[in-house]
Amino acid sequence: MLFTLAAITSIAVPTPRPGWFLCDAVDAPVAALVGAVANDRTAITIVPRGTGAPVTRTYTVGTLDAGMSQLHYPLTLSGKPAGDLHYVQPAVLADPAAARTPTFTSVTLGARTLRCRWTANTLFLGLDARRSFQITREGPGLVYRSFDAARRGVVTTGAGFGQSNRATLAIAGGTRDRVRGAVRFRFANAGYGYTVLVPDRGPATVRVTHGQRTIQTEPLLGYTLAAR
């Protein structure tokens, strides 16, 4: 059985494909983009942040090993044990409805385990080669955070099994709307504008403006967008 939430994950490398979840590691400059499972197989792309090229391998997802709240999906590669995907039931949270994105807490590939960024009430999580971008609902408002993989701080813990790092940039007071076949988040800070655009088709982008001038537009390698 595959556990999913009402969230959309999309991966853009090496070719566009549906995703299962993103593991944005909080303890290493690496991300794992875990593709949707088809015929018990998933393509997992490892993205070294800042250096090196993404590497994709296709794994077989084995029979779920389920405990009370801790669930493990074993992985094999060419018929040999190759890792594990660790999922936690949202029911362990004080407010299970706060689990808006897939509740995977780690990815183990070979001898390496990556601890995945996860925060309650996340509406969006995306990443490029150097940074991660997260939008959360906190009270009545939205908060935008970016994380520079080269400037990771200590790992912090949150509600239930939440884990993250101190953000490189945090901006409150954003908006969410829909425009031209896309979900759009907008934030403003000290004369700069930050727009996250998630189209129905194609990669999501993060655009930074100053006044009327676009400073940077970055297509994302993968993202997860919560349905609510």
For residues 93 and 165, membership in a common domain is answered with no
In a domain, 1, yes or no: no
Tokens of 42: 């998933």
Residue 2 forms part of a structural domain: no
Q: How many structural domains is the chain composed of? A: 2
Same domain, 173 and 93: no
Per-residue pLDDT of 202-217, as tens digits, reads 899 999 999 889 999 9
Whether residue 34 is found in the same domain as residue 110? yes
**Do 33 and 132 belong to one domain?**
no
% of the chain beyond a pLDDT of 70 = 98
Q: What is the extent of the structural domain holding 127? A: 122-226
Q: Could you write out the three-class secondary structure of 20-65? A: EEEEEECCCCEEEEEECCECCEEEEEEEECCCCCCEEEEEEECCCE
- The strand pairing partners of 178, in sequence order, are 183
Instruction: Grade residue 5 by pLDDT with cuts at 50, 70 and 90.
Output: low
Token pair for residue 66?
A: 């389920």
Instruction: Clarify whether residues 126 and 147 are in a common domain.
Output: yes
3-12, 35-44, 181-190, 201-210: the lowest-pLDDT one? 3-12
Comparing CA positions, the residue from 98, 101, 73, 76 lying closest to residue 87 is: 73
Report the chain's C-alpha Rg in angstroms. Answer: 17
SS3 category, 158: coil
Same domain flag for 158 and 105:
no
Predicted confidence at residue 144, as pLDDT, reads: 98
